[in-house]
Amino acid sequence: MSKILVGLKRVVDANVRVRVKPDGSGIVTDGVKMSINPFDEIALEEALRIKEKGGASEIVVASIGPAETQQQLRTGLAMGADRAILVQTDTAPEPLAAARIFLKLIEKEDPAIVLFGKQGIDDDNNQTGQMLAALWNRPQATFASKIELDGTRARVTREVDAGLETIEVDLPAVFTADLRLNEPRYVKLPEIMKAKKKPLDTLALADLGVDTTPQFRTLKYEPPAAREKGTMVKDVAELVNALKTKGLL
C-alpha cells in the first residue's frame, strides 16, 4: 500500500479576529490562538479516511514554520497521522518556495498522494499545490469535493465556477481539498496523549538546499475600511431618493 503526504499550515485560528500591528508591518500574533489551516485539516481527514479503507499504509504530515508549529503537527498526529516533519524556519516562504520544499520531502518520502488544503486562510494564495504538481511533473486535482481511488488511478469531483467537474488522474498526484470534501473528526484526549509519543522530525530549511528568495515585498498591511453606518428609510420613494443621492440610480 501507498504513503500519503499531507501539508499542514499554521495560521491564526479562524475564530480569532485578525488585527494589524499599529505600524502596519504585519498582523498581531503574540498571544493569539494558532491552529491548523481549516482546509489542510480537511485534507488530513481525507487522508485518514483513505487509510481506514485500506488505500494507504502510512500518513505523514509536514509543515514549514517556526518551532511553535510542532503544536499543529502534534494535533495532526492526534487526529491519526503516523509521523510528522517540520521544516523549521522563522520566515514564511512564498508559495513557490513552499512547493520547492515539499518537492524535497517528496524525494525523501516517495508518496503516492500529496494532499493540501486548497488555500491558506491567511494569504488565500491557492498556489502551492498547483506549483508542486508542476515541479513534480505529476497530475493535479484541485478543489476536490470527492476523491475515489481505484488502484493506481483516482476519480476526483472538483468544484468549479460552472458547477462540478469529474476528472481521472494517474497516481502519484497532488490533490487540494475543498470545503465540502468532508467534516474533520473531533480529537479526543486519549489521542492527544498518544500523539506525544509519535515521531516528529525537525529539518533545518538551510539543509534542504532550496532557493527561498522572496519574489515579492510587502510594503504595508492595512485593515479593511470601517463599514459605513446604514440608513433607515420609511418607504420606497425615500429609498429611491437616497440611492439617487449616492449616484447609484
The rounded mean pLDDT for the chain is 93
- Which tens digit of pLDDT belongs to each residue from 30-78? 889 999 999 999 999 999 999 999 999 999 999 999 999 999 999 999 9
- Which tens digit of pLDDT belongs to each residue from 196-216? 999 999 999 999 999 999 988
Go through the domains of the chain in sequence order and give each one's CATH number.
3-245 (3.40.50.620)
Q: What is the mean pLDDT of residues 101-113?
A: 96
Cα 119 → chain centroid: 5
Whole-angstrom Cα distance, residue 50 to residue 238?
Answer: 59
Using alpha carbons only, give the angle 207, 210, 213 rounded to the nearest 5 degrees: 120
pLDDT-wise least confident of 10-19, 40-49, 222-231: 222-231
Place of cell 508559495: 95
**Residue 158 grid coordinates:** 472538483
**What pTM, to 2 d.p., does this model score?**
0.88
DSSP state of 3: E
Whole-angstrom Cα distance, residue 129 to residue 96?
Answer: 10
Show Cβ contacts of residue 214 under 8 Å, excluding neighbours closer than 6 positions: 94, 97
Show Cβ contacts of residue 212 under 8 Å, excluding neighbours closer than 6 positions: 89, 91, 93, 94, 97, 100, 101, 205
Whole-angstrom Cα distance, residue 138 to residue 73?
Answer: 26
